[in-house]
Amino acid sequence: MLFVLFHLGQERYALEAARVVEVVPLLALKRFPQSPRGVAGVFIYRGRPVPALDLCELTVGRPAQENFSTRIILINHGKNPGDQQLVGLIAERVTETLRREQSEFLDPSVQLASSPFLGTVLMDGSGVVQVINPERLMMDGLALMVSNQPLSALNSQSTTEALDASH
């Protein structure tokens, strides 16, 4: 399997490449007042508004640093193909891929209730890599923020034009 590697703080994480639609540079975001922790805002991707979640803020408690290698990883969120929506995951040092068999990843033997999105781990020459499960990352309020219904209000022409103008 192919994985996209990235960093959250000093730690390395991976996301199955099959989940990734595209990796794009960090774009200007329209921020939402009083949004839940980790909701970075929304941006326009190919004419559609897409919510963006800051993985660093969700996991290590600080916003992602705005470096050249900080990227937005676009994924399809949703279990059923007809219900899927694009979601942007902001991560640092998105510069590599890793090809490994799923069987090489091991259960970490620890599952924290506060971090249900953390999956299996792999040890390589550079240390530990842990898989992120984006479906488990987006629970409760975050799932509502990235569901189709709240963003439907953003599909109006005036809002889309306003977002386009902010870039």
Query: CA angle 48-53-57, nearest 5°?
Result: 160
Residue 70's Cα: distance from chain center in Å?
12
- Measured from the Cβ of residue 37, the count of other Cβ atoms closer than 10 Å reads 11
Retrieve residue 6's tokens. Answer: 């990235």
Report CA dihedral (150, 65, 108, 1) to the nearest 10 degrees: 80
pLDDT tens-digit map of 5-29: 999 989 999 999 998 999 999 988 9
Mean pLDDT calculated for residue range 2-7? 95
User: What domains can be seen in the chain, in order of their start residue?
Assistant: 2-165 (2.40.50.180)
* Distance in angstroms (rounded) separating the CA atoms of residues 113 and 126: 27
The residues that bridge with 91 in the sheet, in sequence order, are 71
The contacts of residue 145 (CB under 8 Å, 6+ apart) are 35, 36, 39, 51
Indicate the average pLDDT of the chain: 79
- Given a cut of 50, whether residue 162 has pLDDT beyond it is no
Question: Is the confidence at residue 107, as pLDDT, over 70?
Answer: yes
